[in-house]
Amino acid sequence: MQMTFRWFGDSDPVKLWQIRQIPGVTGIVSAIYDVPVGEEWPLEKIVQLKEEVESAGLSLSVIESVPVHEHIKLGLPGRDRYIENYGRTLRNLAQAGVGIVCYNFMPVFDWTRSQLDYVLEDGSNALIYEEEVVQRMNPLSGELQLPGWDSSYRKEELRLLFDQYALVDEEKLWDNLAYFVKAIMPIAEKVGVRMAIHPDDPPWPIFGLPRIITDGDALNKFLRLYDHPVNGLCLCSGSLGANPNNDMPALIRRFGAEGRINFMHARNIKHTGERSFQESAHLSSAGSLDMGEIMRALRDVNYAGPVRPDHGRMIWGETGKPGYGLYDRALGAVYLNGMWEALTKERAASDKN
């Protein structure tokens, strides 16, 4: 296992030298943020990012993410141009020595929460999702500013997208995902880049938009679209775990045994109602997920890929990008590494006996 940390580039309040000082963290998860969605990432920008990370004594382990253009998700006539650009970006990443790309296929909105700064009992701030609140929201009002939403959409553009998605149900979205996968994965296989699709967050439809990467059956269906290790998963415990029916250790053992987990997001959440949850500290007792069993499952399948502590609370008065403060994610990284060390020693002792 390689412990990694998300970094949003030079504009990130968290600096590379700070990440370098977190015990056990050796990799960076980042992206190119100033290239429009759908356009090719220039090789020189990728190399510049990689060199900046390496100059801090870290490795550029994962690109998260190369966004998929809405024309691809919608299956519009112009999608082939964007798929061609995506393929060229993969070739450039491979040339620069980057081996893993995370992405998602969520229509319009990325991960979505109803509040950025909910105050937990200990006084820290966390991201939360309350289904009742989200159901009352009008995504076309122009007044919504929620995390995970692409603020680059103007009100008119958002309305057009909703009109277009009115013609896209789950079956059609699966068809469009299959079209993308079957075009991109041969390129990924040829250049040696492992792809990792991120599950929908939360793993159910919002605002009438379909979401399809939601549970074990969906993950299995996705993997069969192109049955090769380059077509893999980013298993996110917080995303999938928002649905109590998703047994994360079982999912890890199921797909890890096939060698299809290419990236892992490890975080905890606390269920607060049906389709409602709070993000919590990584500690098992802080949330509803057993992080010890999640890490044990990764150990049992001999997972050797990157893991990153995902969203964290904002603690000790820290401000910045909600969910992406330094302190709580650093605590999470050390906690996860500590469990991994204990599990590794436990296995070694068992093997001796």
Q: Cβ of 276: how many Cβ atoms within 10 Å?
A: 18
Using left for φ > 0, alpha for ψ between -120 and 50, and beta otherwise, residue 346 falls in alpha
131, amino acid identity: E
Among 301, 321, 179, which residue's Cα sits nearest to residue 248? 301
The single residue listed with the structure tokens 């929460």 is 113
Cβ-contact 196, 263 below 8 angstroms: yes
Among 46, 106, 121, 143, which residue's Cα sits nearest to residue 272? 121
d(CA 73, CA 91): 22
Write out the DSSP string of 305-319. SEEEE----B-TT--
d(CA 108, CA 90): 23
| φ and ψ at residue 206, rounded to 5 degrees | -130, 140
The single residue listed with the structure tokens 């991109």 is 184
Quote the distance between the C-alpha of residue 352 and its chain's center. Answer: 37
Among 342, 230, 234, 336, which residue's Cα sits nearest to residue 283? 336
d(CA 334, CA 311): 15
125-129 sheet: strands from edge to edge: 115-119, 125-129, 276-279, 269-273
Q: Which residues are catalytic?
A: 198, 236, 265, 310-311, 324
